[in-house]
């Protein structure tokens, strides 16, 4: 892939030396992160099939970018996920039960935003990006040194909020990373119908910020590139657009039927890029880990998710009255228990 | 267009299939019509409301847009200037908000800005409402927003036949229509629909069940609920009329006043938040016009003034037959 | 914050000067507060509501944003996460529409999305309304839109002192507030204001004139009109109360019910279109709660369900004392 | 100015030869167009001072770009003006009285959109650009050969609708010209606080379309560049972004006080670029016209505007009932005369 930074795709010797440079600890941390995300995704798909959660947008294949985005940043840095990064918060220490509850439509699914410094999951495409700019700009204003990272898809780059966010970030010199997961599809819309510029990193020039491209299936390259962007941001260099070039290996979500709009042949072509297998190959050939060790990591992750899934049914129902009490700091009369469910005429009629 | 009166071959379709068929009919009858939206082509729309249409009419007439609801709703206005008649699909209710400015500041104001001379033949279809176990922001009911701003018609069908006829009529009316499709009942069961949908008056409510003691005013997915409540009321000796509003702006004043005058009690049911919702408008209108004919205050069974909850709690938030019955009882006892 | 009770040096300010002073006080008292908006810095805002503040607090705290209301309202949310307390200026009413999605889909839902734990200390100031001979889309009254969607408080002052106190209180309330400033009365005359604005309860209406026979419910620039109508009514032997709503969401239920119970007649006046406006909500609420105490139907004198006209006709479209008196007469004769 | 196409700014010999190439007819047509616009603007400012129209956004200095945009296009081409191009419709044959009435807040100010193929004046920044894309896309769909031109300011390039319009135009290959009048100010906001990319034409690359820069004070260069863009569009080459590089010689509008935010020194530096004087100098030195002839053109234009101004008061008042009847094709009951002004309760109460 043209101008796309990669480690696992480099010639074997270069790969090994670059992995060794990263070091075993970091490499295993990255692998472990991916294992956690994969276990989450696998389990969520099963739970959806069992009818225990609702429609679910799988992120199978995006584990490398997502893991790198968390590991390359510091705990004080802010993350702004979309519907496709609902599990990144688990890499910040949040129990996987929480995002599973969200997909179960349970209010226990709202994670602790301030504790994990992960914004609430954002559904409308690109609208999380201005939030990321604000959080980053705030660091500049408060002379703090956190950075913010906003996730976007290839489709999201067409939306107005992407543009306004990039421009505002550049003008304010805010330490923000726009991480575009270019999986080449927005539901059924292929990249070539999304925009005429097929290298999305080139869009960065319109805002006067750097644009970097990285192999989305290579967790090590993603880490290196995101780390670079974060360092630039932290040292006052302002925003960067990072395009992770990949492919959506799965359907858009559990309700989607890719057979309607894309060829299984292309899918098959991309399937071997699956990032965990690819990372494992690299780690083993670099002598940084053996297959058994890695299998154990994955096994632990699966077990953890199985346990979370079992807890799912045990989460007590929350009443609508309780939820109504979470909308405002000082709950208005019309959301109080007396007026919410049975409007006051009920009392009046008694 | 004239009413279709001849007997026709019928077929059983559900609401979303009826929408699909109506769109096919529009594309067939009107060479200037075209469809735009996200994933409406090969994919046939996320609800399959445009299934088969790209294959039949080609990708220029069933166009998959890039993302950006403001951009493609705005472009639809420009397409109208070029003599075309776009029908836009917004994928889900809450994704109409990015197009809000284009709809309010331009689409609704266009005819007025031409001194009344030129209108936009533009329909914006929006699957809306709760009850489908969907993720956040996929269950909103934005009808009040579009009804409150000037220049837009707001139309909501409640069954396959009304969906087809209202959609065909909306597309032919010469002015922009926000066409809200109650996605909860997209697949609620099939009814016989004619091979071709004839036009119908756009701003008329329909009495879908007659009654003398009380009128339940509803629209969209709430009509079914109102009918269920009416059956229960009948068992309890109360004869309830069900008025399907269909047009949320303009309101069918005559049918509403007739309901108030003939039944003396009017109860409004909707999913949207209560504050400044359609229920408020109906209650205020009846006050202004026929307060002396009302035997009981106009009550509302509506969504709450809070975000539509994640789906574990959606049944708690949606109007229920029980809530309707309780309100009806208060009115009957008044 | 505690009520300011000590006697203070006062000064005569008009409404926009009071806003300016309140913003200065906010910036002084709250080191995390900052102002964002178009042309609010050196230019002091197109209405001069931020005159002098950039010079006093520097361009980082009084920040001129690039264009793009969605972008900077969204960024304000992010600034809140960073621990800051932004006060955003939208230049004119209709330019709130590009930010509509950010306000509805994010700002209003933030606390709810954190299980109630974290709120946004975010105020969005919007000069609004007609009567200023302004170009198109500079005279809209969007309050219904913001009141109908969940999670936003909507506050409207009607005079210099209420403007200052409500703005300071809005900024301190811990939740997002859409603060609508009636630009028509920005310079309507000066009143003595205290050196510092003390806080006030955000969701209380104010009886700005007492009376027994009828209540005129109004807000913003319409309060002045209601007062003028009340004076005329008094001359005709009718004692009219004027209730300044101030909070459009939530409504001050108690004051409204008290007005209905104590005066028996409630008339609502607003500039926004009638369909699903605040007048409808008040009428419906009174029906639900105190229908039996009403001596006359709740009538509405409002803007029309059409675009606010170009300014040659704006006086025809705005509520007038005459229209209020005519409605009041109908109610008194009922 | 760097990379900015110019004719009047070229060395005198090159200028003369290029003007001769354009030919006397076209040159005088361009001058006449500018004279008409200037007369409109001058008169409007006077009328505003007299209180006979409302706030008015002067376009003093923008006559060259605006005139060129009309003359370089054909009558079948669509124009999408903002609040600052309210008089371009007069170059399509609409009486100047009409836009003056608009600024007077009179509904007679709505021009005939279909006759002149000029969209209604657009107030919210950048929101006219998607309309232009639609009109152009429609030509492609109908195999017609009109193009569309949308006006924007430098400030407008920051807005989401600019982005969505550019992207959609490029994806659909629509024959549209985005004409960015870069006058370096958005009310009080200077370009450097608007975006980090100071050559706005560079933003075109983000959409895969060409970007051209032209001297905004040079009507001849503007004509040439816009003609090129129009030809490209008409021949199937898709959209172009044209940046007219200039300066806002006047205030933002009659209510604006530039002294609050910009230095009179910079203003003075730019003042001599005033496009009519500059065009006159060129025409005279190329021997294409003499000063008297040009003065006569300007005199005729002024006289026409004076006459229009006199008509202003004679336009009969339109009633609100009449206006209410223009909102919908079939007027709803609540906008009918019986229910509009005196809601039906008035009748009920009688
Ligand atoms: C404003 C808005 N419009 C429409 C949608 C519906 N929708 C959900 S995902 C999606 C495609 C997004 O594609 P992309 O940005 O590439 O992200 P990906 O799903 O591939 O991760 C669409 C159109 C939405 N969420 N938000
Ligand atoms: C969406 C929107 N926000 C704010 C405004 C208020 N406003 C009017 S003109 C203007 C500046 C526009 O600058 P630019 O695009 O450079 O055009 P210019 O006025 O210089 O021609 C602003 C902010 C508006 N018209 N629309
Ligand atoms: Mg994608
Ligand atoms: Mg400008």
User: CA of A162: which chain D residue's CA is closest?
Assistant: D160
Same domain? For A225 and A340 the reply is no
Task: State mean pLDDT over C21-46.
Answer: 98
Q: Is A110 on the interface with C (CB under 8 A)?
A: yes
Nearest chain C residue to B94 by CA distance is C105
Domain boundaries, chain B: 9-194, 206-333
- Give the position, in ligand 2's atom list, of the atom nearest the Cα of C38: 23
Ligand nearest to the CA of B43: 1
| Number of C-beta neighbours around residue A144 at 10 A | 13
Residue C28 host element (H or E): helix C15-29
Is B138 a catalytic site residue?
Answer: yes
Token match 């003939």: residue? B262
Pocket of ligand 2, beta carbon within 6 A: C 38, 67, 69, 91, 95, 98; D 84, 123-125, 153-156, 181, 183, 185-187, 248, 252
Q: Compute chain A's Rg from CA coordinates.
A: 21
- Among D176, D196, D197, D243, most A C-beta atoms within 10 A, so best to mutate, is D196
Same domain flag for D73 and D26: yes
Show the domain range for A336. 318-350
Summarize pLDDT for D289-309 with one digit per residue, the tens.
999 999 999 999 999 999 999
Confidence (pLDDT) at D343: 59
Identify whether the C-beta of residue B39 lies closer than 8 Å to the C-beta of residue A189: yes
Each residue's pLDDT tens digit, D249-292: 999 999 999 999 999 998 999 999 999 999 999 999 999 999 99
- The neighbour count for residue D117, using CB atoms within 10 Å, is 20
Mean pLDDT of A279-288: 96
d(CA D121, CA D105): 13
Q: Is B81 on the interface with A (CB under 8 A)?
A: no
Q: Report which protein residue has its CA nearest ligand 1's atom 11.
A: A186
Range 20-39 of B in CB contact (< 8 A) with D: 34
Catalytic residue from among B138, B148, B270, B275: B138
Q: How many domains does chain A have?
A: 2
Mean pLDDT for chain C overall: 96
Chains A–D, number of C-beta pairs less than 8 Å apart: 72
Q: Is the pLDDT of residue D174 over 50?
A: yes
Give the pLDDT mean for B123-142.
97
Residues A338 and A192 in one domain: no
* B55 in A contact zone (CB under 8 Å): no
Mean pLDDT for the stretch of residues B105-117: 98
Distance B186 CA to ligand 3 centre (A): 27
Tell me which residue in C279, C288, C307 faces B112 most closely, judged by beta carbons: C307
Q: Which residues surround ligand 3, an ion (CB under 5 A)?
A: A 153-154, 183, 186
Q: What pLDDT is stored for residue C3 in this prediction?
A: 46
Q: Domain C206-333 adopts which CATH fold?
A: Rossmann fold (3.40.50)
Phi, psi for residue B23 in degrees, rounded to 5: -65, -40
Instruction: Find, in chain C, the residue whose alpha carbon is nearest to that of D154.
Output: C67
Assess whether A181 and A330 both reside in one domain.
no
Could you tell me the end-to-end alpha-carbon distance of chain B, in angstroms, rounded to an integer?
47
Phi, psi of C299 (to 5 degrees): -100, 165
Q: What whole-number distance in Å separates Cα of residue B159 and Cα of residue D233?
A: 46
Q: In this predicted structure, what is the pLDDT of residue A346?
A: 53
pLDDT at B2 over 90: no
Give the closest residue (by CA) to ligand 1 atom 3.
B95
Q: Chain D neighbours among C 131-170 (CB < 8 Å)?
A: 133-138
d(CA A152, ligand 3 centre) in Å: 8
Residue of B86, B14, B99 lying closest to B48 (CA atoms): B14
C172: nearest Cα among C198, C147, C150, C194:
C198
Q: Which is the closest atom of ligand 1 to the Cα of B137?
A: 25
- Residue-level pLDDT at C2: 42
Residue-wise pLDDT for A156-196, tens only, equals: 999 999 999 999 999 999 999 999 999 999 999 999 999 99
Q: What CA–CA distance (Å, rounded) separates A34 from A298?
A: 9
A349 versus A315: the higher-pLDDT residue is: A315
Ligand 1 centre to CA of A71 (Å) is 25
Do D107 and C311 lie within an 8 Å CB cutoff?
no
Q: At A350, is the pLDDT very low, low, confident or very high (cuts 50, 70, 90)?
A: very low
Return the ligand number nearest the Cα of A157.
Answer: 1
Cα angle for residues D156, D161, D165 (degrees, 5° grid) = 110
How many A from CA of A209 to the centre of ligand 2? 25
Whether the pLDDT of residue A229 is over 60: the answer is yes
The pLDDT of residue B3? 46
User: Are A206 and D203 a contacting pair at CB < 8 A?
Assistant: yes
Q: How far apart are the CA of A202 and the centre of ligand 3, in A?
A: 17
CA of C121 to the centre of ligand 2 (A): 28
Neighbours of chain D (3+ CB pairs under 8 A): A, B, C
Give the model's pLDDT for residue A10. Answer: 87
Nearest alpha carbon to residue C115 among D225, A327, A38: A327
Measured CA to CA, the distance from residue A327 to residue B314 in angstroms comes to: 16
Q: D348 and D212, same structural domain?
A: no
On the question of pLDDT at D87 being above 80, the answer is yes
Nearest CB partner across the interface for B306, out of A156, A318, A327 = A327
Q: Does A216 contact ligand 1 (Cβ within 6 A)?
A: no
What's the rounded Cα separation, in Å, for the pair B184 and B199? 24
Exposure string of B222-236, with b = 16+ CB inside 10 Å and e = fewer, is bbbbbbebbebbeee
Scan for tokens 């030396």, then name that residue: A17
Tens digits of residue pLDDT in A139-163: 999 999 999 999 999 999 999 999 9
| CA A268/CA D239 separation, integer angstroms | 36
Over residues C238-288, the pLDDT tens digits come to 999 999 999 999 999 999 999 999 999 999 999 999 999 999 999 999 999
Position D10 scores a pLDDT of: 87
pLDDT at A341: 75
Residue whose CB lies within 8 A of the most ligand 1 atoms, among A58, A125, A127, A192, for a mutation test: A125
How confident is the prediction for chain A on average, in pLDDT? 95
Give the integer Cα–Cα distance in Å for C178 and C97. 13
For C9-194, the fitting CATH number among 3.90.1150.10, 3.40.50.970, 3.65.10.10, 3.60.20.10 is 3.40.50.970
- Using the Cβ of C304 and the Cβ atoms of chain D, whether some distance falls under 8 Å is answered with yes
pLDDT at C9 over 80: no
> What is the C-alpha separation between C177 and C157, in angstroms, rounded?
13
Q: Relative to the CA of D82, which ligand 2 atom is closest?
A: 21
C78-115 tens-digit pLDDT: 999 999 999 999 999 999 999 999 999 999 999 999 99
DSSP string, B38-89: TT-STT--TTSTTTTHHHHH-TTTEEEPPS-HHHHHHHHHHHHHTT-EEEEE
Question: β-pairing, B206-209 with B240-244?
Answer: antiparallel
**Beta strand residue intervals within C258-321, DSSP E:** 266-273, 299-303
> Is pLDDT of B23 > 80?
yes
pLDDT higher than 80, residue A347 = no
Nearest CB among C108, C276, C300 relative to B278 is that of C276
Residue A2: pLDDT above 90?
no
Ligand located closest to A60 CA: 1
Q: Sort A219 into a burial class: Cβ within 10 Å, 0-12 / 13-18 / 19+.
A: buried
Q: What is the mean pLDDT of residues B305-331?
A: 96
Mean pLDDT confidence for A25-45 = 98
Shortest distance, CA C175 to any CA of chain A (angstroms): 7
Instruction: Please check the confidence at residue D175 and state whether its pLDDT lies above 60.
Output: yes
**Is C204's Cβ below 8 Å from some Cβ in A?**
no
Q: Give the tens place of pLDDT for each residue, A195-218.
A: 999 999 999 999 999 999 999 999
- Residue in C66, C174, C250 closest to A329 by CB: C174
Residue D6 maps to a domain: no
In the block, residue with structure tokens 């670029």 = D273
Contact in structure between C202 and C153 (CB atoms under 8 Å): yes
Average pLDDT, rounded, for chain B: 96
With a CB cutoff of 8 Å and minimum separation 6, the contacts of B258 are none
Residues 6+ apart with CB under 8 A from D225: D5, D212, D214, D242
Best probe residue, ligand 2, of D186, D253, D254 (max atoms within 8 Å of C-beta): D186
Question: C309 vs D320: CB contact, 8 Å cut-off?
Answer: yes
Residues D242 and D167 in one domain: yes
Considering only residues 187 to 246 of chain D, which have any Cβ-Cβ distance to chain A shorter than 8 Å? 193-197, 202-203, 205-209
Looking at the fold, whether D79 and D147 belong to one and the same domain comes out as: yes
Note whether C9-194 and C206-333 share their fold: yes
Q: What local confidence, expressed as pLDDT, does residue D341 receive?
A: 76
A residues 169..198 contacting D (CB < 8 A) = 170-171, 193-197
Q: Is residue A5 a part of any domain in this protein?
A: no
The distance of D268 to chain A (nearest Cα, Å) reads 28
Q: Same domain, yes or no, for A117 and A18? A: yes
- Span D122-145, average pLDDT: 98
Q: How far is C39 from chain A (nearest CA, A)?
A: 15
Check pLDDT > 80 for residue A344. no
């Amino acid at each position: 892939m043209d101008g796309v930074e990669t480690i696992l795709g480099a010639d074997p010797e270069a790969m090994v030396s670059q992995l060794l440079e990263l070091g075993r600890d970091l490499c295993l941390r990255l692998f472990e992160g991916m294992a956690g995300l994969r276990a989450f995704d696998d389990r969520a798909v099963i739970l959806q099939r069992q009818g225990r959660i609702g429609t679910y947008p799988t992120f199978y294949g995006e584990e490398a970018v997502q893991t790198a985005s968390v590991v390359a940043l510091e705990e004080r840095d802010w993350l702004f996920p979309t519907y496709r990064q609902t599990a990144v918060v688990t890499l910040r220490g949040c129990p996987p039960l929480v995002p599973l509850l969200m997909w179960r439509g349970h209010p226990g699914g709202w994670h602790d935003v301030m504790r994990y410094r992960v914004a609430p999951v954002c559904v409308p495409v690109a609208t999380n990006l201005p939030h990321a700019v604000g959080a980053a700009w705030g660091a500049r204003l408060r002379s703090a040194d956190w950075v913010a990272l906003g996730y976007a898809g290839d489709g999201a780059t067409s939306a107005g909020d992407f543009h306004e966010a990039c421009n505002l970030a550049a003008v304010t010199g805010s330490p923000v990373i726009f991480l575009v997961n270019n999986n080449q599809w927005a539901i059924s819309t292929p990249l070539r119908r999304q925009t005429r510029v097929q290298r999305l990193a080139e869009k960065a020039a319109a805002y006067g910020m750097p644009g970097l491209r990285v192999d989305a299936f290579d967790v090590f390259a993603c880490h290196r590139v995101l780390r670079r962007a974060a360092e630039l941001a932290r040292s006052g260099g302002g925003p960067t657009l990072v395009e992770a070039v990949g492919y959506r290996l799965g359907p858009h979500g559990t309700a989607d039927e890719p057979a309607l709009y894309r060829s299984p042949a292309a899918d098959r072509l991309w399937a071997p890029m699956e990032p965990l297998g690819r990372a494992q190959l690299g780690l083993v050939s670099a002598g940084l880990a053996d297959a058994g060790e890695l299998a154990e990591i994955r096994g632990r992750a699966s077990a953890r998710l199985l346990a979370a899934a079992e807890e799912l049914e045990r989460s007590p129902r929350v009443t609508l009255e309780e939820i109504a009490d979470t909308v405002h700091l000082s709950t208005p009369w019309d959301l109080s228990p007396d007026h919410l469910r049975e409007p006051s005429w009920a009392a009046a009629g008694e | 267009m004239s009413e279709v009166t001849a007997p026709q071959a019928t077929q059983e379709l559900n609401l979303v299939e009826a929408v699909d068929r109506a769109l096919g009919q529009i594309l067939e009858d009107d060479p200037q019509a075209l469809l735009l939206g996200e994933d409406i082509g090969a994919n046939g729309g996320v609800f399959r409301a445009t299934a088969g249409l790209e294959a039949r009419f080609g990708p220029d007439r069933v166009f998959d847009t890039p993302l950006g609801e403001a951009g493609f709703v705005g472009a639809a206005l420009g397409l109208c200037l070029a003599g075309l008649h776009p029908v836009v699909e917004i994928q889900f209710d809450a994704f109409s908000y990015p197009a809000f400015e284009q709809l309010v500041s331009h689409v609704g104001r266009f005819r007025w800005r031409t001194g009344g001379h030129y209108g936009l033949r533009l329909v914006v279809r929006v699957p809306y409402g709760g009850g489908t176990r969907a993720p956040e922001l996929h269950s909103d009911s934005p009808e009040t927003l579009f009804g409150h701003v000037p220049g837009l018609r707001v139309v909501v069908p409640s069954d396959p036949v009304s969906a087809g006829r209202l959609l065909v009529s909306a597309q032919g009316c010469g002015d922009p229509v926000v066409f809200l499709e109650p996605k909860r009942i997209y697949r609620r069961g099939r009814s016989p629909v004619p091979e071709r949908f004839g036009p119908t008056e756009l701003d008329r409510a329909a009495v879908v069940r007659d009654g003398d003691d009380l009128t339940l005013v509803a629209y969209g997915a709430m009509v079914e609920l109102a009918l269920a409540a009416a059956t229960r009321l009948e068992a309890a000796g109360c004869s309830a009329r069900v008025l399907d509003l269909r047009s949320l702006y303009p309101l069918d004043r005559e049918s509403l006043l007739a309901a108030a005058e003939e039944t003396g009690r009017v109860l409004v049911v909707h999913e949207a938040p209560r504050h400044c919702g359609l229920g408020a408008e109906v209650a205020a209108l009846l006050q202004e016009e026929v307060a002396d004919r009302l035997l009981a205050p106009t009550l509302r069974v509506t969504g709450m003034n809070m975000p539509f909850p994640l789906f574990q709690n959606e049944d708690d938030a949606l109007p229920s037959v029980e809530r309707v019955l309780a309100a009806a009882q208060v009115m009957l006892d008044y």
